[in-house]
C-alpha cells in the first residue's frame, strides 16, 4: 500500500495510545524501537529499561538495568542494536541488546565528561560516540578503542547536540543561548560559525540534512529556524509556546515541525508556506507601548499569539492573515524529552512526572509512511 502524505496540518488531536509508569524519578529519555512495539527509557532513578508491548496491550519491562549514576541522556542505533547511556557522573556506557530485546550486554565505559552528559550521538561510519556535557565541552571518542579523540570547550554548559553524518559538522547549543557549528576531524576540530538569536538557554536542536535547516528551541519559549544551506543566513522565529521548548522533530516529507514544551504543550507547525521575516513585529519599526496599544497575531511571521504592532500595520492585517499556521495540543504532563518514529507516525514523550506516553500523531501530521501500518 502506498504511503499517504498530506502537506498541511490536520485539525484532529494526537491520540494517546499507551501510558508507561514504573520509574521512580524523572525520565530523561524515551526512544521508540523501530519496527517493534517497544520503548527504551532512561531515568534519574539510575535505571535503563526496555519495555515491550504484551498481548494484554500493556508495556512491561523486558530489561531492567541499574546504573552507577542517574541516567541523563541516551542514544540507540537500531541496525547494530547498540545503546549509549550518558550519566550524571560524566560517563557514557555502551550496551548491546539482543534481537528479542530481552537481554542487554555491557560493552564498555567511555570517560567522556567530568560532569552531567546532556546529549549523545553515535556515528557508525566513523565509529565515534559524540557527546555534550555540563563540563562545557563536546567530546568525540572512538568506539573501537574507547580512546578520547578530541574535545572542544565552550564558555557555558553544552546542552544539546546535532550532527551531520556526511560532512562531520556538529551543532552544539549551550546555556548562554548560542549555537556553535564545528567541523570535527579525527583528532581536532574547527569552529565554522556561531549562531546567536535566542534570549535564553538552548534546550534542543534538530538538523534536517536534506533541506539543510537547523531548528533550535530554547528557554525563551521560542523556536528559531536557521537556513544553513546558504540562503543569505535567513532565519525565522516561531512563537507559540508558553514555556521552555524542550524537544523538536522536523518531518521533511510533509514540511512540518513538531515541538514540545515543559508545560505539556505539543505544537505542529506548517513549514510548507512562504513565511515573512520580521520586526515591528511586522514592518521592522521598534514600537513601544506609548506608540501603539494594538496587538495582533501574525502567523506568517511565526507569531501564533498576539504581539504588539504599529497602528498602520494593524490596519493592514486582514482576518485571513491571522489564520493559524500551527496546531496546538495538550500533552497533559511535563515533557522534558520527545522522540518520533516518523515512518509510523508515532511519538513518545517523557518528563519529570515519571510518566512515558506513546502517541499516534497521524491524525495531526497526516502522514503514515510505513506500508499498511495501523497504530491501533
pLDDT, block means (10 residues), the chain with 376 residues: 39 90 97 96 98 93 97 97 98 97 97 98 97 98 97 97 97 97 95 95 97 96 90 79 96 94 95 67 46 54 55 56 69 94 95 96 73 37
Q: How far apart are CA 213 and CA 257, in angstroms?
A: 11
| pLDDT confidence of residue 98 | 97
| pLDDT confidence of residue 293 | 62
| pLDDT confidence of residue 231 | 57
| pLDDT confidence of residue 254 | 92
| pLDDT confidence of residue 327 | 81
| pLDDT confidence of residue 190 | 97
Amino acid at each position: 500500500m502506498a504511503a499517504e502524505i498530506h502537506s498541511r496540518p490536520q485539525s484532529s488531536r494526537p491520540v494517546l495510545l499507551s501510558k508507561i509508569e514504573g520509574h521512580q524519578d524523572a525520565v530523561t529519555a524515551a526512544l521508540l524501537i523501530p519496527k517493534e512495539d517497544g520503548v527504551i527509557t532512561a531515568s534519574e532513578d539510575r535505571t535503563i529499561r526496555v519495555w515491550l508491548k504484551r498481548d494484554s496491550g500493556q508495556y512491561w519491562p523486558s530489561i531492567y538495568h541499574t546504573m552507577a549514576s542517574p541516567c541523563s541522556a541516551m542514544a540507540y542505533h537500531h541496525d547494530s542494536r547498540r545503546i549509549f547511556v550518558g550519566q550524571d557522573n560524566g560517563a557514557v556506557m555502551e550496551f548491546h541488546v539482543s534481537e528479542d530485546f530481552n537481554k542487554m550486554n555491557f560493552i564498555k565505559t567511555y570517560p567522556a565528561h567530568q560532569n552531567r552528559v546532556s546529549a549523545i550521538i553515535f556515528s557508525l561510519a566513523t565509529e565515534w560516540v559524540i557527546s555534550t556535557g555540563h563540563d562545557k565541552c563536546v567530546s568525540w571518542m572512538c568506539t573501537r578503542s574507547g580512546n578520547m579523540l578530541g574535545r572542544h570547550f565552550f564558555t557555558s554548559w553544552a546542552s544539546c547536540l546535532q550532527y551531520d553524518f556526511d560532512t562531520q559538522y556538529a551543532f552544539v547549543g549551550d546555556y548562554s543561548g548560542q549555537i556553535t557549528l564545528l567541523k570535527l576531524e579525527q583528532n581536532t576540530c574547527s569552529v565554522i560559525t556561531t549562531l546567536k538569536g535566542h534570549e535564553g538557554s538552548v534546550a534542543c536542536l534538530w538538523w534536517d540534512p536534506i533541506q539543510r535547516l537547523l531548528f533550535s528551541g530554547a528557554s525563551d519559549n521560542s523556536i528559531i529556524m536557521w537556513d544553513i544551506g546558504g540562503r543569505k543566513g535567513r532565519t525565522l522565529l516561531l512563537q507559540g509556546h508558553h514555556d521552555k521548548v524542550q524537544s523538536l522533530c522536523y518531518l521533511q516529507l510533509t514540511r512540518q515541525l513538531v515541538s514540545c514544551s515543559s508545560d505539556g504543550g505539543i505544537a505542529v507547525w506548517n513549514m510548507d508556506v512562504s513565511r515573512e521575516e520580521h520586526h515591528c513585529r511586522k514592518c521592522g519599526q521598534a514600537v513601544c507601548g506609548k506608540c501603539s496599544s494594538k496587538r495582533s497575531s501574525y502567523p506568517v511571521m511565526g507569531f501564533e499569539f498576539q504581539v504588539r504592532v504599529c497602528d498602520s500595520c494593524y490596519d493592514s492585517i486582514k482576518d485571513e492573515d491571522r489564520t493559524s499556521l500551527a496546531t496546538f495540543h495538550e500533552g497533559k504532563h511535563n515533557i522534558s524529552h520527545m522522540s518520533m518514529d516518523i515512518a509510523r507516525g508515532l511519538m513518545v514523550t517523557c518528563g519529570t512526572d515519571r510518566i512515558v506516553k506513546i502517541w499516534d500523531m497521524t491524525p495531526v501530521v497526516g502522514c503514515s509512511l510505513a506500508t499498511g501500518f495501523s497504530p491501533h
